[in-house]
């Protein structure tokens, strides 16, 4: 189950979308759905589309700093090839989605929006019968994923670089989001991302 185009569940995000349609008429300005096969073993969960990234291009993790950084790592570790805003993605060896499918003001979805959009994340996860690794980027993505997995947040707390065992099949890894802000402030280091992707490769025996 995916949100329909122009999904109207979250009033605040619909208002913001409509404002952006006027301010940026050439942008995509709609909900952005996940990409990659549901039969993948790896799922990456980001936060929400960025204004000048996915909200502009209509493609998840595409067209901005965080998208470029994530796909540089996917390419480095042979999980994907390049992903430009002008070409279709057809060589992705994982699924990528966001906890919230619409652009939130200041990149901060509120609790209502996180809760309402969780039904779509939950549906995606339920379809992934081969799922073995989930990488969550940031605390909101982590909490949304834990809720979508029907697990208790008090038992699974977000911690950068932490590895959580969800069940006998699924391991969940935490990282800060690969945003420009987190890289510039050195909250997230490039070496941290290398550590995470090396671990993913080792766990999946790619």
Per CB under 6 A, residues contacting ligand SF4 are 3, 7, 9-10, 13, 31, 100-102, 113, 116-117
Q: Which two tokens stand for residue 120?
A: 């779509």
Closest to ligand SF4 by CB, 7 or 131: 7
Residues 131, 203 contacting (CB under 8 angstroms): no
Closest to ligand SF4 by CB, 72 or 118: 118
What CA–CA distance (Å, rounded) separates 108 from 158?
A: 17
Closest to ligand SF4 by CB, 3 or 197: 3
Closest to ligand SF4 by CB, 27 or 77: 27
What CA–CA distance (Å, rounded) separates 165 from 54?
A: 31
In angstroms, give the least distance from the CB of 85 to ligand SF4.
Answer: 21
In angstroms, give the least distance from the CB of 24 to ligand SF4.
Answer: 17
Angle between helical axes of 111-127 and 139-148 (0-180°, round to 10) = 60
**CA distance between the termini of the chain:** 29
In angstroms, give the least distance from the CB of 39 to ligand SF4.
Answer: 24
Computed from CA positions of residues 124, 130, 132, 133, in that sequence, does the dihedral angle turn out positive or negative? negative
Closest to ligand SF4 by CB, 47 or 135: 47
In angstroms, give the least distance from the CB of 3 to ligand SF4.
Answer: 3
Give how far Cα 107 sits from Cα of 16, 45, 55, 78, 85, Å. 12, 15, 11, 29, 21
Residue with tokens 């096969």: 37
Closest to ligand SF4 by CB, 164 or 177: 177
In angstroms, give the least distance from the CB of 118 to ligand SF4.
Answer: 9
Angle between helical axes of 65-76 and 190-204 (0-180°, round to 10) = 40
In angstroms, give the least distance from the CB of 124 to ligand SF4.
Answer: 12
């Amino acid at each position: 189950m995916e949100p329909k185009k122009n999904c109207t569940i979250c009033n605040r995000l619909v208002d913001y979308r409509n404002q952006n349609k006027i301010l940026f008429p050439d942008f995509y300005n709609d909900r952005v759905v996940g990409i990659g096969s549901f039969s993948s073993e790896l799922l990456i969960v980001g936060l929400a589309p960025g204004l000048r990234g996915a909200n502009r291009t209509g493609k998840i993790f595409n067209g901005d700093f965080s998208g470029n950084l994530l796909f540089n790592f996917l390419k480095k570790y042979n999980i994907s090839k390049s992903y430009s805003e002008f070409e279709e993605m057809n060589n992705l060896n994982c699924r990528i989605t966001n906890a919230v499918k619409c652009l939130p003001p200041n990149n901060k979805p509120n609790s209502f929006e996180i809760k309402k959009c969780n039904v779509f994340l939950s549906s995606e996860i339920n379809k992934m019968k081969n799922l073995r690794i989930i990488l969550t980027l940031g605390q909101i993505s982590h909490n949304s994923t834990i809720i979508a997995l029907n697990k208790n947040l008090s038992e699974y707390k977000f911690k950068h670089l932490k590895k959580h065992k969800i069940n006998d099949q699924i391991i969940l890894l935490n990282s800060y989001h690969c945003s420009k802000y987190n890289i510039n402030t050195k909250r997230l280091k490039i070496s941290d991302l290398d550590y995470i992707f090396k671990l993913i490769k080792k766990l999946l025996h790619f």
